[in-house]
Amino acid sequence: MRHRKSGLKLNRTFSHRKAMFRNMATSLFKHDRIMTTDVKAKELSRWADKLITLAKRGDLHARRQVMSVITEKTVAHKLFAEASKRYGAINGGYTRIVKAGLRHGDAALMSVIELVASEKVNAKKKRKKEE
C-alpha cells in the first residue's frame, strides 16, 4: 500500500534524488529561475515552498534546517534576508512554473521554474490606496 507516501522517485535512489533537489533548490534561490523538466519542476516547487516558509519564520532552528538543504551559505543568507520582505504578505505559492516546450534530444517536457516576486502584493496595496 502507498498510504502517506508523497514525492516522486524519478527512477533514482534516495541519495541521488536528495542531492539533485538540494542542488536544484540552491540554483533556484541563487538565480531566481531555472529550466528543468516539468516533473522535476513540480517536485522542486514543493521543496522551495517549504524552504521559503522556514526562511520567513527566521529563527535559529529554521536557519539550521535550511542550511541542511541549501549547499551554499551565501545563498541561504540571501534567502533569509529577502524572505520576509519579498513573501511576508503571502502564505504560499512562492514559485511559478511556465511550460517551455520540448527538449530537442528526447522530447521531454521542459519548464521554467521561477520565484514569484512581490509584484502582486504591491499591486494589491496600490489598488487599496486608490480606493
What backbone torsions phi and psi does residue 102 show, to the nearest 5 degrees? -105, 145
CATH at 29? 3.90.1030.10
Q: Which domain covers residue 27, as residue numbers?
A: 14-130
The answer to whether residue 73 sits within a structural domain is yes
Question: What pLDDT is recorded for position 120?
Answer: 55
CA distances for 101 relative to 22, 28, 37, 42, 49, angstroms: 25, 20, 10, 15, 24
Counting the structural domains of the chain, the total is 1
What pTM was computed for the model?
A: 0.86
Q: Please indicate, yes or no, if residue 7 is contained in any of the structural domains.
A: no
Residue 26: phi and psi, rounded to 5, are -60, -45
pLDDT of residue 123: 63
- The per-residue DSSP string of 39-82 comes to HHHHHHHHHHHHHHHHHHH-SHHHHHHHHTT-S-HHHHHHHHHH
How many Cβ atoms sit within 10 Å of the Cβ of residue 22? Answer: 15
Classify residue 1: in a domain, yes or no. Answer: no
Contact 110, 103 (CB under 8 A): yes
Whole-number pLDDT of residue 125 = 61
Q: Mean pLDDT per segment of 10 residues, for the chain of length 131 residues?
A: 92 97 97 97 97 96 97 96 92 96 96 85 64 68
Would you say residue 9 lies in a domain? no
Residue 103 inside a domain? The answer is yes
